[in-house]
Amino acid sequence: MPIPEVAESFTGAVNRVTLGATKDDGGTRTKTVTVGGARNVVYGGSPEEAGETPVVAMDVLDTKPEDWPDALAEPLSDVLDSPGDWAKKCVEELGADLICLKFEGIHPDKADKDAAHAVKVTEEVLKAVAVPLVLWGCGNDEKDNEVMPKVSGAAKGEKCLIGTVTEDNYKSLTAIALADGHFLITEAPLDINIAKQVNILASDMGFPLDRIVTYQSTGALGYGIEYAYSIQERQRLAALGGDKMMAMPVICDVGYESWRAKEAKLEDAPGWGAVDDRGPMWETATAICLLQAGVDIIRLRHPKAVATVKGFIGKVWS
């Protein structure tokens, strides 16, 4: 039976972004990672319109995490106190496409480490792995402004993805990321209007739009994921509609958010299955949900979640 044509004629597309600088490009990475490029909604049209394959960035923390549930800490227990070894394990054994170095330990209410520590860890991880890095601050504006410019400098020319900048705190990191040749993560608190506003602010400082990746905030499955889901779908539609201020690839923080969920960490929960299965499943499920709404870079933590999510991506983006 003849079927009516349903092809949409979108005028825009998601920007294509290539992270990581090789030797020829002035850096030391031997691998680069390209994301974005979608010319349709998720599963709209044909697989050729889906753009680049979504990638997994595994989290590496600058200081040993003290509050991780056993189910999460156990598979990484041999490397948690060494960011370099941790990153190496993620790339060489667990299939991480990128490493997201999260500077949890610089937070004044946590380990309150200084810039020298952050620079040392950055150098260590750059040396340990050949993939591009994501460099992510602690969320405390003052401390991030003090430390992250130094981190940026330590990775100068490597074309890292650095962030995050927000509506209220974007100037110093945007300026330094521009000077050091990095890509920038703009963050908004589950609010599509603020998301656009932060992009405009960064752009007004002369930061090129095609070097921005947006972070809309992430809710875990069962904890507000529907908000992130719909914002990501709306962002994709805006990009396809030709809105240059919303045409960036998207990153989400699945690892941290998922492992906060009760379903992931509650040890004794009769009827819910073993906690060792539940945690990775919750992380996987959160990632899979967000993939359906259009996401380009997924931050993950547990090896099993990485394997399952990459397995899904392999089946659907090829």
Partner 1 sequence: MALTGLEIFKLLPKTNCKKCGMPTCLAFAMALAQKRAKLEDCPDVSEEAKEKLAAAAAPPMRKIVFGSGDAQVQVGQETVMFRHEEKFHNETVVAASVSDKLTGDELTKRIESVNALQFERVGTKIGAKAVAVLNESGSAESFAKACAAVNDGCDLAMILVTESAEAMAAAVTKVKDGVPLLAFAAADTAEAMAKIAKDNGCPLAAKAESVEVLAELTEKIKAAGVEDIVLALDAPGLQEQLYGLSKMRALALKKAFRPLGYPAMTHVCDGDGAEQGATAIGLICKYSSIVIVDTVEPYALLAALTAVMNVFSDPQKPVQVEPKVYPIGEPDENAPVMFTTNFSLTYYTVESDVEASRVPSYILVVDTEGTSVLTAYSGDKLNEKTVADAIAKYKVESLVKHRKLIIPGYVAVMSGKLEEATNWEVMVGPRECSMLPKYLQEAWN
Q: Which amino acid, residue 315?
A: K
Kindly indicate which of the ranges 147-155, 163-171, 204-212, 257-265 contains the residues binding partner 1, using the contact rule CB under 8 A: 257-265
Position 177 contacts partner 1 (CB under 8 A): no
Neighbours of 182 (CB within 10 A): 26
Nearest C-alpha neighbor of 190 from the set 225, 163, 228, 148: 228
Position 318 contacts partner 1 (CB under 8 A): yes
Is the backbone peptide bond immediately before 122 cis, with ω within 30 degrees of 0? no
Contacts of 284 (CB under 8 A, 6+ apart): 304, 305, 308, 309
Measured from the CB atom, the residue of 183 and 229 that comes closer to partner 1 is: 229
The CB-of-123 to partner 1 minimum distance in angstroms stands at 28
Kindly indicate which of the ranges 54-62, 125-133, 204-212, 269-277 contains the residues binding partner 1, using the contact rule CB under 8 A: 269-277
The CB-of-18 to partner 1 minimum distance in angstroms stands at 25
Position 197 contacts partner 1 (CB under 8 A): no
The CB-of-43 to partner 1 minimum distance in angstroms stands at 4
Interface pattern 135-164 for partner 1 (x via CB under 8 A): ----x-------------------------
Residue whose structure tokens are 């709306």:
234
Residue whose structure tokens are 């040392």:
120
Which structure tokens are listed for 243? 């809105």
- How is 247-269 classified by DSSP, letter by letter? ---EEEEHHHHHTTSHHHH-S--
Measured from the CB atom, the residue of 170 and 229 that comes closer to partner 1 is: 229
Measured from the CB atom, the residue of 132 and 163 that comes closer to partner 1 is: 163
User: What is d(CA 224, CA 87) in angstroms, rounded to the nearest whole number?
Assistant: 30
User: What is d(CA 121, CA 91) in angstroms, rounded to the nearest whole number?
Assistant: 17
Measured from the CB atom, the residue of 17 and 313 that comes closer to partner 1 is: 313
The CB-of-39 to partner 1 minimum distance in angstroms stands at 14
- Helix, strand, coil share of the chain (percent; to 5): 45, 15, 40
Residue whose structure tokens are 């209410």:
109
Interface pattern 213-252 for partner 1 (x via CB under 8 A): ------x-xxxxxxx-xx--xx--x---------------
HEC assignment per residue over 10-73: CCCCCCEEEECCCHHHCCCCCCCEEEECCCCCCCCCCHHHHCCCCEEEEEEECCCCCCCCHHHH
Measured from the CB atom, the residue of 225 and 246 that comes closer to partner 1 is: 225
Position 168 contacts partner 1 (CB under 8 A): no
> 165, 184 in Cβ contact below 8 A?
yes
Kindly indicate which of the ranges 15-23, 178-186, 245-253, 271-279 contains the residues binding partner 1, using the contact rule CB under 8 A: 271-279
Measured from the CB atom, the residue of 78 and 226 that comes closer to partner 1 is: 226
Which chain residues interact with partner 1 by CB under 8 A? Answer: 1-4, 6, 41-44, 46-47, 67, 109-110, 139, 219, 221-227, 229-230, 233-234, 237, 260-263, 271-274, 277-278, 280-282, 284-285, 288-289, 291-293, 304, 308-309, 311-312, 315-318
